[in-house]
């Protein structure tokens, strides 16, 4: 450290021309005091009945269906959540809606035919109507709201409805 115009400044001194850096490091390491202790990590037991390896095509921290069962991807594992039947039906409906919206956006971005896009829009409308029909209106609004909230992110894509 040396005094500078705005107080103390750290400086690097040029290496000694006649000194060997590896020897200087060995001496410096001998002067370090401290210890590193081993950490005991808890045993991570994965129940294969409720957890499977993550599918790389599934986005992290999202729900998906595997063989008709709901899983939530969290990092390298997909965990089967413990939910009641009503929640399972809601999640399945939202997964279907999300997948349909993803397909529709992909079709538009990759210039699929107007007919294919129109068919996917009709599928989305049918899925949405079925979803809201099975939920009371307040529940449907609360559940679909997060999907609507991401609209500004994807608003640059015209939906051509």
Per-residue pLDDT tens digits for 93-112: 889 989 999 999 999 999 99
Sign of CA dihedral 65, 68, 72, 74: negative
| Tens-digit pLDDT profile for residues 48-64 | 568 899 999 998 988 99
What pLDDT score was predicted for residue 148?
45
Strands 77-79 and 69-74, by their bridges, are antiparallel
Same domain membership, residue 128 and residue 60: no
Q: Per the domain annotation, does 45 fall within a domain? A: no
Q: Per the domain annotation, does 137 fall within a domain? A: yes
Same domain membership, residue 140 and residue 92: yes
- State yes or no: pLDDT of 147 exceeds 60: no
Same domain membership, residue 95 and residue 125: yes
Q: Can you tell me the mean pLDDT for 106-128?
A: 93
Q: Can you tell me the mean pLDDT for 7-22?
A: 78
What pLDDT score was predicted for residue 142?
58
- State yes or no: pLDDT of 115 exceeds 90: yes
Q: How confident is residue 85, by pLDDT bands cut at 50, 70 and 90? A: confident
Q: How confident is residue 141, by pLDDT bands cut at 50, 70 and 90? A: low
Domain that holds residue 64: 50-82
Lowest mean pLDDT among 27-31, 75-79, 119-123, 132-136: 132-136
Query: Model pTM?
Result: 0.56
Q: Per the domain annotation, does 28 fall within a domain? A: no
Same domain membership, residue 160 and residue 142: yes
Count of structural domains, the chain: 2
Residues 6+ apart with CB under 8 A from 105: 154, 157
Greater confidence (39 vs 122) lies with 122
Q: What angle do CA 134, 158, 100 make, to 5 degrees?
A: 35
């Amino acid at each position: 450290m040396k005094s500078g115009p705005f107080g103390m400044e750290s400086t690097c001194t040029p290496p000694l021309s006649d000194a060997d850096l590896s020897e200087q490091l060995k001496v410096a390491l001998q002067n370090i005091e401290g210890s590193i202790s081993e950490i005991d990590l808890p045993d991570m037991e994965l129940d294969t009945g409720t957890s499977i390896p993550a599918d790389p095509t599934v986005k992290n921290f999202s729900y998906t269906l595997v063989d008709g069962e709901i899983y939530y991807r969290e990092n390298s594992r997909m965990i089967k959540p413990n939910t009641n039947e009503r929640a399972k039906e809601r999640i399945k409906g939202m997964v279907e809606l999300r997948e349909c919206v993803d397909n529709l956006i992909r079709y538009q971005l990759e210039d699929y035919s107007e007919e294919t896009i129109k068919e996917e829009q009709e599928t989305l409308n049918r899925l949405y109507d079925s979803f809201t029909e099975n939920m009371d209106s307040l529940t449907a609004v609360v559940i679909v709201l997060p999907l609507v909230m991401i609209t500004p992110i994807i608003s640059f894509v015209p939906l051509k409805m």
